[in-house]
Chain A
Amino acid sequence: MPIANEFSAGLKKAAKELGQSDLLVQKLENWLNQLSDGKSGLDNDTEIAKQFDVLLEHVHPATPKED
Chain B
Amino acid sequence: MNIGLLGWASEGLRAKDLEVSLGSSPKITLLQMANGTGKTTTLELLRAAMSGAATKWDAEKVNAFKAGPQTEEGSFRIDLSADKNKLTIYMKFNFINGIVKYEVSYGSGKSMGFNLPPELKNFFNEDFGEFFVFDGEMAKQLLDRRGQVAEKVKDQMFQLYFLDRLEGQLDKYWERAAHKSVAKTAKGLTQSENKVNALETTLIEMKDKHKKLSEEQRQKKIRLSELENEISEGLRVDKEFREKNEALAAKVEEAKNVSLMIRRDLFKKIKSPVYIAPGIAHELSELKNNLDVLKLPDATSRVFFKELIDEGTCICGRPIDSAAKAAIQEKAESILSEEDSGVMNQIKSAISSRVINRPTDTVDTVTLEMKKLLDANQRLRVIETERADLKNRKEQDLGEVFQIKRAEANQLSGEIGIVEEKLKRLNAKDDPNSKVSIYWISKSLEAAREEFALASDTLDLKHKRDALIQLFTLAKKYARESIDKKVGDMVSARLEKILVNPISGASTKASVGQTLTAAYCFLGALLEMSVHQIPWVVDSPAGPLDSFSRQGIANVIYDLDRQFLGFTIDTETQAFVDVLMAKPAPPRLLAFAKKSGLVEQLAKDEKAAIGFESATHILVDSQSFYLKYKVSQETEA
Cβ contacts under 8 Å, B483 to chain A: 6
Cβ contacts under 8 Å, B461 to chain A: 56
Are A1 and B118 in contact (CB-based, < 8 A)? Answer: no
Task: Report Cα–Cα, A62/B122, bound state, in Å.
Answer: 31
Cβ contacts under 8 Å, A24 to chain B: 471
Are B471 and A36 in contact (CB-based, < 8 A)? Answer: no
**B162 contact from A6, A17, A32, A62, Cβ within 8 A:** A32
Task: Report Cα–Cα, A17/B475, bound state, in Å.
Answer: 10
A–B pairs, 22, beta carbons within 8 Å: A1-B531, A4-B159, A4-B531, A6-B158, A7-B158, A7-B475, A10-B481, A11-B475, A11-B479, A14-B474, A32-B162, A36-B122, A38-B117, A38-B122, A41-B118, A42-B166, A45-B172, A48-B169, A49-B173, A52-B170, A56-B461, A63-B463
Cβ contacts under 8 Å, B60 to chain A: none
In the complex where A1-B532, A55-B468, A61-B464 touch, is A48 in contact with B479 (Cβ < 8 A)? no
B120 within 8 A of A: yes
B221 within 8 A of A: no
Cβ contacts under 8 Å, A26 to chain B: none
How many residues from B make CB contacts under 8 Å with A? Answer: 44
Contact with A along B492-535 (1 / 0, CB 8 A): 00000000000000000000000000000000000001111000
Chain A binding site: helix, strand, loop or mixed by DSSP?
A: helix
Nearest Cβ on chain A to B301's Cβ, whole angstroms: 46
Q: Which of B525-559 contact A (CB under 8 A)?
A: 529-532
Are B468 and A10 in contact (CB-based, < 8 A)? Answer: no
B119 within 8 A of A: yes
Task: Report Cα–Cα, A59/B464, bound state, in Å.
Answer: 6
Contact with B along A12-37 (1 / 0, CB 8 A): 01110110100010001001100111
Are B173 and A9 in contact (CB-based, < 8 A)? Answer: no
In the complex where A3-B159, A38-B122, A48-B169 touch, is A13 in contact with B464 (Cβ < 8 A)? no
Could you count the A-B residue pairs with CB atoms below 8 Å apart for me: how many are there? 111
**A56 contact from B122, B165, B176, B468, Cβ within 8 A:** B468
**B467 contact from A9, A20, A40, Cβ within 8 A:** A20
Are A37 and B464 in contact (CB-based, < 8 A)? Answer: no
**A52 contact from B120, B169, B460, B481, Cβ within 8 A:** B169
Contact with A along B106-120 (1 / 0, CB 8 A): 000000000001111
Cβ contacts under 8 Å, A63 to chain B: 463
Q: Which of B478-494 contact A (CB under 8 A)?
A: 478-483, 486
Are B159 and A10 in contact (CB-based, < 8 A)? Answer: no
Cβ contacts under 8 Å, B121 to chain A: 38, 41
Cβ contacts under 8 Å, B475 to chain A: 7, 10-11, 13-15
B1 within 8 A of A: yes
Nearest Cβ on chain B to A38's Cβ, whole angstroms: 2
In the complex where A1-B1, A41-B118, A48-B169 touch, is A6 in contact with B482 (Cβ < 8 A)? yes
Closest to B170 in A: A52
Are A61 and B471 in contact (CB-based, < 8 A)? Answer: no
Are A18 and B162 in contact (CB-based, < 8 A)? Answer: no
**A7 contact from B117, B159, B169, B471, Cβ within 8 A:** B159
Are B160 and A7 in contact (CB-based, < 8 A)? Answer: yes
Nearest Cβ on chain A to B324's Cβ, whole angstroms: 54
Nearest Cβ on chain A to B221's Cβ, whole angstroms: 32
Q: Which 3 A-B pairs have the closest CB atoms?
A: A38-B119, A10-B479, A14-B474
Task: Report Cα–Cα, A28/B466, bound state, in Å.
Answer: 15
Q: Which of B428-480 contact A (CB under 8 A)?
A: 450, 460-461, 463-468, 470-471, 474-480
Task: Report Cα–Cα, A28/B461, bound state, in Å.
Answer: 17
Cβ contacts under 8 Å, A37 to chain B: 119
Known: A1-B1, A13-B475, A39-B119. 9 other contacts (CB 8 A): A4-B479, A10-B478, A10-B480, A13-B474, A14-B471, A18-B467, A41-B118, A56-B461, A59-B467
